[in-house]
Structure 1
């Protein structure tokens, strides 16, 4: 399979929202509020992002979308990683690592000094990737989100 990362466009929005909604419902038991949150994030990005400081990418295998990753401005010198998703059929091939490296390099080139992200402890493979990449988990707290009792984590890395 030929992997490619292409810039996110409005034509990707419906796929991106649906892929998050379906995958997180199946893998984590998330309710419909998660899909609604992703839709809100995507709509805000499309209507109001700064293309000089914020970007999204869609990962492709041949002619099929298989993932996403976004870099958004978190204020000051911080970038925020958002909407990082890799479909099961594309996992285990180094694509997630490549997507994360691309996003971080892009943020670094835009002058961001650090990158943050929020995730849940239950996303073990993603957390392991963040740790291998040099991210540090700065805080955790129990939450009830998307119909599930979870442990929310906030990670950070100096760029």
Structure 2
């Protein structure tokens, strides 16, 4: 097996990302089709109008197989937002999540952002543990009904 590489997201990756998010979240958390539609909307917006000087998406791949993704997008002049952080099940537990997180945070810091934020769900325990272990602060939680299920939505931030 070859080494895992992190490469820039390309428009051709969008269909795979929508399918992975939709199927994994449906299987693991019971999400309905509205989640895949949201991922598609986010990706189409990124493809159409992202600024490569201050926003980027990465795809983790090994031997031509996609394993995951992470995105850094601009919220405002000083704040970046982490989006679409995903690892396929067979890529988990190998340190790849931490590698993607550090790549994204390093990019944001190098581009002059002072802070990063993200939105997730409490049920993503491994991701939340990764954020907490690497200096992210939980800003708040609230109970919501989204994607056809009851969830606890969380907001996190980190100073860069």
TM-score, normalisation: structure 2:
0.98
Q: Secondary structure at the match of 1:52?
A: coil
Q: Secondary structure at the match of 2:132?
A: helix
How big is the shift at 1:136? 0.5
The answer as to 2:14 corresponding to 1:16 is: no
Tell me which residue corresponds to 2:128. 127
How big is the shift at 1:63? 1.6
CA distance in 2, matches of 1:68, 1:135: 19
Tell me which residue corresponds to 1:113. 114
> CA offsets per residue over residues 31-60 of structure 1, 9 Å max, x none?
000000000000000001011010000011
> CA offsets per residue over residues 39-89 of structure 1, 9 Å max, x none?
000000000101101000001122200100000001130000000000000
The answer as to 2:29 corresponding to 1:31 is: no
CA distance in 2, matches of 1:61, 1:130: 24
Moved segments of 4+, more than 4 Å: none
Unpaired runs of 5+ residues, structure 2, are none
Tell me which residue corresponds to 2:83. 82
**Alignment RMSD, CA only?**
0.7
Q: Secondary structure at the match of 2:153?
A: strand
TM-score, normalisation: structure 1:
0.98
Tell me which residue corresponds to 2:73. 72
CA distance in 2, matches of 1:142, 1:62: 41
Unpaired runs of 5+ residues, structure 1, are none
CA distance in 2, matches of 1:39, 1:96: 22
CA distance in 1, matches of 2:145, 2:123: 13
How many residue pairs were aligned?
A: 159
- The correspondence of residues 46-57 of structure 1 with structure 2, limited to 5 A, is 46-57=47-58
CA distance in 2, matches of 1:73, 1:126: 21
